[in-house]
Structure 1
Amino acid sequence: MSPRGVPVVGLHERLFTAAEQLLVRKGPGALDSRSITSEAGCAKGVLHNHFGNLDAFLTAFAADRLRHVLDTAARLPGRAGEGDVTENLATTAVEAFGSSSMAIVGLLTARPQLQPLVQDALGVCANLQGLETAFAAYFAAEAELGRITPHAEPEFLALMFVGTLHHLVASGRSGVGDLGERVKKIATVLVGVDQA
């Protein structure tokens, strides 16, 4: 803890990280100001001093984490032609559908009043459409390079890929430790690449 009145460097990220850890470990019900600041090792009033109230903090936290996921997905098409196709897909998919991201979805489901606030903060639609668009662009680029089945229909592949991943997570069958390997198998079946 810092002395009173002395700014803590990286305080927002520290609070966001604490909230994320609590959310993944204990679920949305564990997120209150006292628990978050305690987890972050900060003074109890610091969250309200910087964000005004808990909903404003949770909005900023969820928007930050979802922005990171969408930015990661948006970079995927630029990786076409580099590395292994299934590895590229797995890395991005685990980022988008891993435990932290799904915990954020759980938070927004548990606190629906945050959804429009987060959407406004992002300035884009905070849903699976952005992920589908990124995966479709990646599939199109790899098909153009001949690294996946040349007759692939990128938009349809993206819809099937994102839908399958969402189903795995929603049904509790994603398996935290092996999600990356499952993604590689799904990709192999869908896009006709050989696994390394």
Structure 2
Amino acid sequence: MSPRGVAIPDLRERLFDAAERVVARDGAAALTSRAVTNEAGCAKGVLHTHFASLDEFVADLVLDRFARASAVAEALPPRAGTGTVAENLMAVASAVLSLDPGVVGLAVTRPAASQRIREAWRTGAPGFGVVQESVEDYLREERRLGRIAAGADPQSVALALVGTLHHLLMTDGAGGSDARDRVERLVHALVTVPAP
């Protein structure tokens, strides 16, 4: 336990990591500010010193984790012409699938957190929209380079991929190799260039 009044390095990340462990071990219903601070080894009031409420904390946690996955997607368009299209798309899919479905599900179970997340996404915070835009931009460039079919529709392919990822996360189906296998089959079906 950190002594009172002593700054804790990387406190925000420490609390976020602790919340993920609590949810993974005990489920979303067990997530309380005390459970988080106990898991993080911090004084019980430290969470409320840095966040106005548990809902704000949950929203910031979900937004932080989506920002990480979105950063992988935002790096995708400059990769056009390198690797394979399927490998590049799977790197983004894997980043999204690595999000903890239990943590993402918190936003559904906590209406105030959900509202805050939706508002943040509406005003440009990284989330599914950023992932979709990045995949679209990447696929447009790959189409220009002739690495996917000239008739491919980047917008529809991106929507299909992101919609599938959203479905898997929200139905707790993101864990394990089965989800990755399903997404990999989808990616190949969406971007395979037919033989001339």
Distance 1:121 1:173, change over 3 A: closer
Which residue of 1 is the match for residue 128 of structure 2?
128
Which residue of 2 is the match for residue 106 of structure 1?
105
Which residue of 2 is the match for residue 63 of structure 1?
63
User: Secondary structure, in 3 states, of the residue corresponding to 2:82?
Assistant: coil
Q: Which amino acid aligns with 2:136?
A: A
Contact preservation (8 Å) 1:85, 1:193: no
Contact preservation (8 Å) 1:119, 1:126: no
Which residue of 2 is the match for residue 46 of structure 1?
46
Q: Which amino acid aligns with 1:87?
A: E
Q: Which amino acid aligns with 1:135?
A: V
Q: In the TM superposition, what is the alpha-carbon distance from 1:175 to its structure 2 partner?
A: 4.9
Distance 1:193 1:179, change over 3 A: farther
Q: Which amino acid aligns with 2:75?
A: R
Q: Which amino acid aligns with 1:95?
A: A
170-179 or 183-192, which deviates more: 170-179
Q: In the TM superposition, what is the alpha-carbon distance from 1:30 to its structure 2 partner?
A: 1.8
Q: Which amino acid aligns with 2:8?
A: V
Distance of 1:87 and 1:132 partners within structure 2: 17
Which residue of 1 is the match for residue 9 of structure 2?
9
CA offset digits 1:130-184 (Å, max 9, x no partner): 3322211121111112222232111111122222333444555555234333322
Distance 1:103 1:173, change over 3 A: closer
Where in structure 1 do 4 or more consecutive aligned residues deviate above 4 Å? 168-175
TM-score by length of 1: 0.84
User: Secondary structure, in 3 states, of the residue corresponding to 1:134?
Assistant: helix
Q: In the TM superposition, what is the alpha-carbon distance from 1:121 to its structure 2 partner?
A: 4.4
Distance of 1:44 and 1:173 partners within structure 2: 34
What is the 5 A alignment of 1:145-156? 145-156=145-156
User: Secondary structure, in 3 states, of the residue corresponding to 2:7?
Assistant: coil
- Give structure 2 stretches of 5+ with no counterpart: none
Contact preservation (8 Å) 2:15, 2:36: yes
Identity fraction in percent: 41
TM-score by length of 2: 0.84
Distance of 2:188 and 2:97 partners within structure 1: 18
Q: In the TM superposition, what is the alpha-carbon distance from 1:126 to its structure 2 partner?
A: 6.6
Distance of 1:2 and 1:125 partners within structure 2: 32
Distance of 1:48 and 1:31 partners within structure 2: 14
Q: In the TM superposition, what is the alpha-carbon distance from 1:116 to its structure 2 partner?
A: 2.5
Contact preservation (8 Å) 2:80, 2:141: yes
The root-mean-square deviation of aligned C-alpha atoms, in Å, is: 2.5
Q: In the TM superposition, what is the alpha-carbon distance from 1:118 to its structure 2 partner?
A: 2.5
Distance of 1:125 and 1:53 partners within structure 2: 20
Distance of 1:136 and 1:79 partners within structure 2: 13
Distance of 2:102 and 2:78 partners within structure 1: 28
Q: Which amino acid aligns with 1:83?
A: G
